[in-house]
């Protein structure tokens, strides 16, 4: 099982029934309250390990929003929640979490931890330039309500274009 089979984008979180204005804490609380539905939206074989997992580095505390374990992939999965559009600095934050988990929490026989940064919006170009695929980090958009058919069609067109670009890049490497 590869991480590409595991990730998807977007995640539809309409079942959380969030109002127009909410905070990251509200988003996290709603996910915890509806954990079973959230896990089913994420996919199969997830085990919930904790929320706001504290890690301490050089005397400074950091908090991982949500921590899961994926049974088939045999790895820890960090889910970092963001209310805004993906920003490059989120990569550094999550890389720190992944490196700490890899060093201090990874058990024998497990693969290296991976992460999903769930954002209200994302830029494919920024994610591509940051080479997130090489760092075990995936950025996905979350939706709190179903999107109109026209927007869904555009996302499909964008996904096909993205796949064509990736295929062309692979051909150029070979």
Q: Please choose, from the candidates 17, 73, 19, the residue with its C-alpha nearest in 3D space to the C-alpha of residue 42.
A: 73
Between CA 98 and CA 112 the distance in angstroms is 8
Residue located via tokens 């058990």 = 107
Q: What is the pLDDT of residue 98?
A: 97
Confidence of residue 41 (pLDDT cuts 50, 70, 90): confident
Q: Is the entire prediction scored with pTM above 0.75?
A: no
pLDDT above 90 as % of the chain: 37
CA distances from 62 to 54, 77, 144 (A): 6, 16, 27
Q: Please choose, from the candidates 52, 18, 16, the residue with its C-alpha nearest in 3D space to the C-alpha of residue 35.
A: 16
Return the sign of the alpha-carbon dihedral for residues 6, 125, 115, 111.
Answer: positive
Q: Give pLDDT tens digits for 48-87.
A: 898 899 999 999 999 999 999 998 889 999 999 998 999 9
CATH of domain 3-143: 3.40.1350.10
């Amino acid at each position: 099982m590869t991480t590409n089979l595991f990730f998807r984008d977007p995640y539809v979180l309409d079942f959380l029934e969030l109002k127009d204005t909410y905070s990251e804490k509200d988003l996290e609380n709603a996910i915890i309250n509806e954990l079973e539905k959230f896990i089913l939206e994420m996919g199969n074989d997830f085990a919930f390990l904790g929320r706001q997992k504290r890690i301490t580095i050089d005397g400074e505390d950091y908090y991982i929003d949500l921590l899961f374990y994926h049974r088939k992939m045999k790895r820890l999965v960090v889910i970092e929640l963001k209310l805004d559009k993906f920003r490059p600095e989120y990569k550094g934050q999550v890389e720190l979490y992944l490196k700490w988990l890899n060093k201090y929490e990874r058990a024998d026989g497990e693969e290296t931890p991976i992460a999903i940064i769930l954002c209200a919006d994302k830029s494919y170009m920024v994610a591509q330039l940051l080479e997130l695929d090489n760092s075990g980090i995936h950025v996905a958009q979350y939706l709190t309500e179903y999107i109109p058919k026209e927007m869904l069609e555009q996302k499909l067109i964008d996904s096909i274009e993205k796949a064509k670009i990736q295929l062309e890049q692979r051909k150029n490497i070979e």
